[in-house]
């Protein structure tokens, strides 16, 4: 009886050991497979070769090194609507404009931004990219769907295109001595960007302040915005303040025509009377000039 009991105990123990061994084997195989999949990828280097400054009618094109126009680069990769990789650079980096990453095999949406904001863009949502303090500078974009596979090139060259419109206020008369700050308020564009389309996302009341004004020379002030379409009309309000923060002068420009990759320049005597003017263009930015 004892012999039979011992045999049963031994058999039961062997069965339990077998079960534990099977469980451990399955767990180790799963872990091994996960590790293999994690290493199944490729080192890719994205080289920003140039920034394309394409005029609105695409009649002309010029390319310049990125370091001449921008101080920040933000590169992000997405799968679906989820960001899976983010790499930031600034102009102090030794390899500014060359970005390397190890990517698992698969399909991605690649977004690369070049700008000069005081910090990195927030790229969590590729359809609503924002910038520090909603401050928009000259901004360039590349967005494309890519596949990473064994056959992918290890070095991929990308060229960014400008996605902002710019307004310039060219004041030809002297700014009064009591004016210590000039503010440009504007409505009609966006301070956030949809990287898929290169268009603005939300209607924004934007503004920018300018100090350390020159009171004896002609002065030019510029502001940027993202448009919802290739063209749009803006409202600009120019406000002058004294050192106490009191408003001493204001002027409004209605229905100002704006175009992507275009500078709309208003030139004239801001604190006096002006006249209507002309329209001209050049080969990098296109310019629309108005005398007032």
Q: Which domains does the chain have, with CATH numbers?
A: 42-162 (2.60.40.2100), 165-291 (2.60.40)
Among 262, 230, 201, residue whose Cα is nearest residue 54: 262
Q: Could you tell me which of 287, 164, 279 has the C-alpha nearest to residue 230?
A: 164
Give bridge partners of residue 62 from the DSSP assignment. Answer: 53
- Any idea what the Cα angle at residue 283 is, between residues 277 and 287, rounded to 5°? 25
Q: In which region does residue 230 sit, left (phi positive, over 0), alpha (psi from -120 to 50) or beta (all else)?
A: alpha
pLDDT-derived band at 4 (thresholds 50, 70, 90) equals: very low
- pLDDT confidence of residue 36: 26
DSSP letter at 68? G
Say what the pTM is: 0.78
pLDDT at 279 over 50: no
In contact, 275 and 268? CB cutoff 8 Å: yes
283: DSSP letter: S
Q: Average pLDDT of 106-111?
A: 96
Q: Is the pLDDT of residue 35 over 60?
A: no
pLDDT class of 51 with cuts at 50, 70, 90 = confident
């Amino acid at each position: 009886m004892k012999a039979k009991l011992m045999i049963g105990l031994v058999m039961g123990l062997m069965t339990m050991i077998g079960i534990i061994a099977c469980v451990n084997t399955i767990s180790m195989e799963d872990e091994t497979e996960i590790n293999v999949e994690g290493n199944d990828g490729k080192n890719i280097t994205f080289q920003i070769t140039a920034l394309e400054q394409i005029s609105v009618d695409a009649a002309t094109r010029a390319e310049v090194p990125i370091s001449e126009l921008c101080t920040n680069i933000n590169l992000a990769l997405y799968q679906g609507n989820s960001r899976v990789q983010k790499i930031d650079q600034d102009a102090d980096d030794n390899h500014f404009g060359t970005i390397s990453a190890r990517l698992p095999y698969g399909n991605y949406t690649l977004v690369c931004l070049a700008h000069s904001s005081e910090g990195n863009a927030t790229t969590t949502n590729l359809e609503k990219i924002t910038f520090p303090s909603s401050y928009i500078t000259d901004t360039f974009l590349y967005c494309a769907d890519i596949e990473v596979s064994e056959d992918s090139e290890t070095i991929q060259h990308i060229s960014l295109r400008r996605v902002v419109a710019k307004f310039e206020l060219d004041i030809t008369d002297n700014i009064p001595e009591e004016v210590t700050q000039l503010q440009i308020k504007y409505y009609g564009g966006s301070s956030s960007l949809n990287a898929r389309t290169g268009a603005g996302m939300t209607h924004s009341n934007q503004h920018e302040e300018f100090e350390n004004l020159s009171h004896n020379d002609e002065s030019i002030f510029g502001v940027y915005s993202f448009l919802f379409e290739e063209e749009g009309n803006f409202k600009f309000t120019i406000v002058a303040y004294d050192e106490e923060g009191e408003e001493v002068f204001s002027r409004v420009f209605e229905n100002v025509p704006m175009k992507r990759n275009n500078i709309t320049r208003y030139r004239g005597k801001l604190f006096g009377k002006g006249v209507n003017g002309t329209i001209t263009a050049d080969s990098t930015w296109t310019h629309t000039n108005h005398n007032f």
